[in-house]
Every structure is written in structure tokens, then in C-alpha cells.
Amino acid sequence: MENRHPEKAISVLLKEQRLYPPPASFVKSALVAGKAARERLQAAAHRSSDKFWDSAARELRWTRVWRKTLDWKPPFAKWFVGGRLNLADNCLDRHLDGPRRNKAAIIWEGEPGETRTITYLQLHREVCLFANALKELGVKKADRVAIYLPMVPEAAVAMLACSRIGAVHSVIFAGFSAEALRERIVDAGAKVVVTADGGWRKGAVVRLKDAVDEAVAGAPCVESVVILRRTGGDITVYEGRDHWWHRLTAKASCDCPAEPLDSEHPLFILYTSGSTGKPKGVLHTSAGYLVETAWTTRYVFDLRDTDVYWCTADVGWVTGHSYVVYGPLAVGSTIFMYEGAPLTPHPDRFWSMVERHRVSVFYTAPTAIRTFLRLGSDFPRRHDLSSLRLLGTVGEPINPEAWSWYRDVIGGGRCPIVDTWWQTETGAILISPLPGATPTKPGSATLPLPGIDADVVDKTGKPVPLGSGGYLVVRRPWPAMLRTIWGDDERYKREYWSHIPGLYFTGDGARRDKDGYFWILGRIDDVLNVAGHRLSTMEIESALVGHAFVAEAAVVGRPDEVLGQAVAAFVTLKGGRTPSPELKEELREHVAKAIGAIARPSEIRFTDSLPKTRSGKIMRRLLRELATGGAIKGDVTTLEDFAVLARLQQDEE
Ligand code: WT7
């Protein structure tokens, strides 16, 4: 497989020369049609980015118009200063006066196979009921609410209910362990946790409420837990603290005016991994976030009222926030949402749903595409996928082989592919084709969107020549950018604005080709990208050393055909402890329990010492080369003890 070795994968990307102009049939009715139209937008945004974002902002409903577009006191930005709006009002109420009133907002399918369709009017009602239920529990403006739910419509309801009353939501991916959940609840100081008795995944029930009980036992800030009945399984209900969702909403009024909120009112916290062991709470605020997610949803996905739009991301990740809930509902789209695992009960589950619900825009991750590619083309070919007209990818660089398969087998050769680059921190897509206007190259996210000043630079901030690699940065603020890290302005400054003076550093390496196209080369910090999910090496290491037998651990990423990167851990044991296959298994489980199944190492190697520099820094590069199966080629002159290397290489054999 071509991406076994990172150097090789990059050179494959560098050699990729194919150029696909947008299909003529697509351009004919595209919202941005043709190169000239794109360049006009780009030029307008370049002349005055304030005017460009002002006109995007006017697409929304405001209760008070902003005085100033951008207030930039580096590195702190305020957008649409003095304005007031409400996100739920824009995503719901605004659509009720016109033809979207009775249009499907959400079409949902549970893993066991049941379906639900919820119109905008119905969704509005559900959100009002739940918002009043939250108020009943004492939730006030700016209070934090943790949401730990499966992919059910109520996840969107809970998020929108928070934004309706100005509460700040923190959605925690339901695959995270009780321990990870507790850490996030405590950091945000959440007053209420919204969960379900369980959710369906791979034919089994994930016992969410048990994890919440364990987490909340160590989170004194939590006053109430709301439980959605999803699976009907046995759970413990703690009198006084726990409340059933259906009981609360049965008593609630459906009259809940949307609270007018300041443009910079905090909307949500979303935890993501950085280069230290402690997850960081990325803070997004209201107006700028919605302006840009709505704009990008409309133009990157070229959305129309007749589309059925399916983004396969879970609401636990930023993609689920921006491109399942807020962006698509703001533009009045019909969202398709699926609860469960992609291959359950059969490997053609996704394609069966595309066929039955006539999905027209489909947005997923390269890791999923590679999984499907390996299963073979028969599964998609069993289904009529002719409703699809546009495909998207996000989360990691897509290898050209997967790109071509996606285009030919899923898209039938007629659908443009938008490879969208962005991050939890950016809030919205920054680099992507406009599908009716940007010729695509397999593996490249192409060009920055209008209004986005991205570049590839060296350590001093100087642009590198076309063709050379460097750091991916953004020069000027954009409306949906993170405002800070929850409770830690210093870390915000340090992690994003101090690596390269005056510029936002993304943590990614990139290269621009002769046409100025961006090729993302992946993370250059201590962050792994496993199946499109961000994990910090230090977070996994601290989980490992949390085990009583472990003295020291070093975690690196190893290229993996399906996951993109897999977690490889080097572990030294405390004196008197002996390595064994059982202990390996125990340590893998230990990590899964501490963080979640996504962090479970694919590989653990025991060693009696780790390669270190004289100053005691672990030489990850050497470990990476070992984990990748290659010989150690790089510079080893700073290595303290050469014998370690020899032993590590021997362990291999
Ligand atoms: C990191 C951000 C944004 C939603 C999903 C992940 C990588 C993201 C692409 C792409 C190459 C990509 C980057 C980025 N990434 N999209 N289209 N091509 N790499 O969000 O967990 O915040 O991770 O994902 O390395 O920095 P996230």
C-alpha cells in the first residue's frame, strides 16, 4: 500500500498531476459557476474582507445590527461588534414564515433501522420544550451544559436549546470514557449533563448513563442529569439529581422566546487534543461562527432546498457542530442523520441509506472511504446512487487512490469532490474547492476560500517558494475562529500565536504547488490523526504511565492503511515487572478506559529504555522510524545512549 511510509506517501502526492475541472452539468446550475465567478468573489473579499463578511452576515436575522465588523487586538478578535442575534432563531424560527415551515429539517435513521422525519416546525417545538426544561433545572445564560448523547435528533435539539437561551454547550463524543468525560465536565464547570440510557453501535448498546454516573461522581459542579430514553435498557436513576427527558418536556411550555445574544456571547466549548496531556476547551462564540458556517455550508456544498445533505460526522466532533447542525440548519437544508456504525448490519448500510433517502450531498472522512474501498466496489454497486451530486471529505489528507475510487465508484464520475481543510479551532472550512468553480487535484484541498488569508511559511513567517514545504498559517482573523481556550488565554496565545510571530499557526505542514494549490502534509506537532480524530501523544502517554506497572511510555504515530495513523506505544516497565502478551492487552484496555476506544494503541512494544537526547527529551523521530518498520536513517548524534538503539532494533527481530 502506497502510504506505508510517510515519505513515500508525500512523494506520491507530489507527483499527482491530474486536474479535474468541475463537470459541465454541475457548473450549469452551481451557486458559484466557473472560474471567473470565483475570482470575482475572491477579489471582492481581497479588496475589503470587512465588506465581504458584512454581506455574508446580512443573510442572517439580527435583533440588533453590528457597529463594527472586526475588532482585532492580536491575538484576540471580536466580530460583528455590538450586534445581537440568536443561533436557534436563525436555524429554526427564521424558516417558519416561509415554505420551509413544513420541510424536513432532519431525516434520521437509527442503527436498528427505524426512521424519523422532523420538520422545521416540529424541531422548533422540540427545541422550545427542551429549552424550557433546562430553564426549569436552573440553567441560566452563560451556564455550561455537557451533552453526551448518541447520534439522535435530540443531540441537535439539546444543542439548539442551549443556544436558544444562551447556555454554553460542551458536547462530548459518546465514545469517550467516563474518565475523559469527567475531566471535560469539570474543566467547563457544567451544571447539567444531558445523556441517554444508551445508544446503538455495532448491534450493541453503549451504556452511556453508566459512564455519566461514574463521571459525575467526581464532578461536584453537576446539579442535574437529564436522561433521554433511547434503548430502554436498565439504568440507575438517582432521585433528585436525575430527570427523564420525556417527563421534563411533558411538563414544559412550548413557548420559549429566543434570547437576543451579543455577537460575542460564548456558544460552545469543544475539547480537542493539543501537544500537552491536557485536552483544551476550544471556545467558539455566536455571530461570527454562524456567519461563516452558514456561508461555507451554502457555497462549499452548493446547497439547495431540494437537497438531502448527509454529513456522516458525529455531533461529538466539530464537523458535527458546524456541518451537521448549525451550518445546514441556518441555510434551511434537509439533514440526514444516522445513529450507528457504517458496516452494521451489512457493509452496504451507507449505500442503502443513500438510495432510500435519496441523499444528494455526501460528506465523510478519508478513513471511511478507505474502509469502503477495501471492502470492494460490489457493496456500493448494489445500490442506486444516482441521487448523489456532490461529495466531500474532511479530517486528513486523502490519498489519490481513495480519491479516485470515491469519485468513480460512489460519485459515478459525475460528482465534484470538495476536499475541505479546517480544524476544531477554525470553526469553519478555510481551504476547499468551490465545487462549480475550482478544478480539483486528487489529494489537494486546493485554495483558500474567499476572505481567508492562508499561506505556507518558514519559521520566521516568510512565505516559502512554491513547491517547498513549510508551516500552514493564517494571516488575518476570520469570523468563525476560536476566541480562546476556555479559562486559559495564555495557552491560547502560546499554542496558536507564538510559534510564528503574528500569525495563526495551524500545527500542520503544507506545500503549495506551481498553481498555488495547497497540499496538506499532516501534523508537525505531537498530535496524531487517527481515523480523522485528533489525539495527543502526551495524553496517551500519561494514560499509560497511570498504570501501576508502567515506568515510562512514548507514543508515536505509525502510518496505517485505513486509519491514516495508528497509535504505537513504547513502554518501559517498573522494576520486577515482566512483559507479557496479557500485559500488552491490559495496557491497551487501560488506555481505552482512560480516554476512549479511539485511543487504544494498535501496537505496544516493551523496551528496557527509551532513546533520549542528552537533555532527556525522548527522540520520537527514532521511535517513529522503528514503529514504521523502517531502519533508522536520520541523525542520531544527539542520542545519549547508543546501546538503547541497538536494543530497540534487536527487540524488532
Ligand atoms: C486537523 C484538524 C475539521 C474537522 C475534522 C478534524 C487535519 C482536516 C483535512 C484535509 C488534510 C486535514 C489537519 C488539521 N485535516 N481536514 N481536508 N486535508 N488534513 O478536526 O480534529 O480539529 O483536526 O485535521 O491536520 O490540522 P480536528
Minimal CA–CA distance to 623: which of 607, 599, 602?
A: 607
What is the pLDDT confidence band of residue 652, given thresholds at 50, 70 and 90?
low
3-state class of 135 per DSSP? helix
**How confident is the model over 112-128, as a mean pLDDT?**
98
Q: What is the pLDDT of residues 323-362, one digit of tens each?
A: 999 999 999 999 999 999 999 999 999 999 999 999 999 9
Q: Which residues of 43-52 are buried (b: 16+ CB within 10 A; e: fewer)?
A: eebeeebeeb
Q: What is the predicted pLDDT for the residue at 1?
A: 29
Q: What are phi and psi of 552, to 5 degrees?
A: -150, 150
- Within 10 angstroms of residue 372's Cβ, the number of other Cβ atoms is 23
What is the pLDDT confidence band of residue 653, given thresholds at 50, 70 and 90?
very low
Report the separation in Å between the CA atom of 383 and the middle of ligand 1, taken as the mean of its atom positions: 30
Cβ distance 433 to 419 under 8 Å? yes
3-state class of 191 per DSSP? coil
Residue 10 has pLDDT above 60, yes or no: no
Q: What is the predicted pLDDT for the residue at 13?
A: 61
Cβ distance 571 to 604 under 8 Å? yes
Cβ distance 544 to 587 under 8 Å? yes
What is the distance of C-alpha 135 from the center of its chain? 29
Closest residue CA from atom 5 of ligand 1: 395
Which residue segments constitute the domains of the chain, with CATH numbers given? 531-652 (3.30.300.30)
Minimal CA–CA distance to 567: which of 619, 605, 618?
A: 605
- HSE, side-chain direction, 13 A CA sphere, residue 333: 29
Report the separation in Å between the CA atom of 216 and the middle of ligand 1, taken as the mean of its atom positions: 31
Cβ distance 569 to 542 under 8 Å? no
Write the DSSP assignment of 467-524 as a string of letters. Answer: T-EEEEEE-S--TTS--EETT-HHHHHHHHHTTTTTSEEEEEEEEE-TT--EEEEEE-
Q: What is the pLDDT of residues 289-324, one digit of tens each?
A: 999 999 999 999 999 999 999 999 999 999 999 999
What is the distance of C-alpha 383 from the center of its chain? 29
Residue 77 has pLDDT above 50, yes or no: yes
For the chain, percent of residues with pLDDT exceeding 70: 97
Residue 511 has pLDDT above 60, yes or no: yes
**CA distance between the termini of the chain:** 23
Q: Which residue among 529, 535, 539, 565 is best mutated to probe the pocket of ligand 1, counting the most ligand atoms within 8 A of its Cβ? A: 529
Q: What is the predicted pLDDT for the residue at 628?
A: 84
Question: What whole-number distance in Å separates Cα of residue 298 and Cα of residue 388?
Answer: 17
What is the pLDDT confidence band of residue 617, given thresholds at 50, 70 and 90?
confident
Closest residue CA from atom 6 of ligand 1: 395
Q: What is the pLDDT of residues 194-253, one digit of tens each?
A: 999 999 999 999 999 999 999 999 999 999 999 999 999 999 999 999 999 999 999 999
Residue 132 has pLDDT above 90, yes or no: yes
Cis geometry, peptide bond prior to residue 6 (ω within 30 degrees of 0): no
Ligand 1 pocket, residues with Cβ under 6 angstroms:
272, 318-319, 394-397, 419-424, 445, 506-508, 520, 522-523, 529, 532, 534
Q: What is the predicted pLDDT for the residue at 344?
A: 97
Cis geometry, peptide bond prior to residue 75 (ω within 30 degrees of 0): yes
Report the separation in Å between the CA atom of 125 and the middle of ligand 1, taken as the mean of its atom positions: 35
Q: What is the pLDDT of residues 452-485, one digit of tens each?
A: 999 999 999 999 999 999 999 999 999 999 999 9
Using DSSP bridges, classify how beta strands 334-338 and 361-364 pair: parallel, antiparallel or unpaired: unpaired
Grid coordinates representing 16 are 499527482
What is the pLDDT confidence band of residue 524, given thresholds at 50, 70 and 90?
confident
Question: What whole-number distance in Å separates Cα of residue 317 and Cα of residue 496?
Answer: 20
CA dihedral sign, ordered 535, 419, 307, 412: negative
**How confident is the model over 161-171, as a mean pLDDT?**
98
- One-letter amino acid at 450 equals P
Cβ distance 139 to 165 under 8 Å? yes
Q: Which residue among 364, 520, 527 is best mutated to probe the pocket of ligand 1, counting the most ligand atoms within 8 A of its Cβ? A: 520
3-class SS letters over 615-636: CCCECHHHHHHHHCCCCCCCCC
CA dihedral sign, ordered 138, 141, 146, 148: positive
3-state class of 136 per DSSP? helix
Write the DSSP assignment of 334-383 as a string of letters. Answer: EEEEE-S-TTSSSTTHHHHHHHHHT--EEEE-HHHHHHHHHH-THHHHTS
Question: What whole-number distance in Å separates Cα of residue 414 and Cα of residue 407?
Answer: 8
- Within 10 angstroms of residue 144's Cβ, the number of other Cβ atoms is 23
User: Average pLDDT over the chain, rounded to whole?
Assistant: 94
Report the separation in Å between the CA atom of 529 and the middle of ligand 1, taken as the mean of its atom positions: 8
Identify which has the larger pLDDT, 274 or 56. Answer: 56
Q: Which residue among 394, 485, 565 is best mutated to probe the pocket of ligand 1, counting the most ligand atoms within 8 A of its Cβ? A: 394
Q: What is the pLDDT of residues 255-273, one digit of tens each?
A: 999 999 999 999 999 999 8
- One-letter amino acid at 158 equals A
Which segment of 192-196, 260-264, 420-424, 518-522 scores lowest on mean pLDDT? 518-522
Residue 633 has pLDDT above 90, yes or no: no
Q: What is the predicted pLDDT for the residue at 278?
A: 86
Report the separation in Å between the CA atom of 182 and the middle of ligand 1, taken as the mean of its atom positions: 26
**How confident is the model over 575-588, as a mean pLDDT?**
95
Q: What is the predicted pLDDT for the residue at 4?
A: 38
Grid coordinates representing 239 are 432521585
Minimal CA–CA distance to 303: which of 359, 264, 230, 377?
A: 359
Tell me how many helices (H) and strands (E) the chain has: 22, 30
Q: What is the pLDDT of residues 138-160, one digit of tens each?
A: 999 999 999 999 999 999 999 99
Q: Which residue among 421, 505, 530, 533 is best mutated to probe the pocket of ligand 1, counting the most ligand atoms within 8 A of its Cβ? A: 421
Report the separation in Å between the CA atom of 422 and the middle of ligand 1, taken as the mean of its atom positions: 5
Using DSSP bridges, classify how beta strands 144-148 and 168-171 pair: parallel, antiparallel or unpaired: parallel
**How confident is the model over 44-58, as a mean pLDDT?**
97
Q: What is the predicted pLDDT for the residue at 2?
A: 32
DSSP state of 596: B
Strand (E) or helix (H) holding 294: helix 287-300
Cβ distance 431 to 447 under 8 Å? yes
Question: What whole-number distance in Å separates Cα of residue 29 and Cα of residue 484?
Answer: 40
Q: What is the predicted pLDDT for the residue at 6?
A: 42
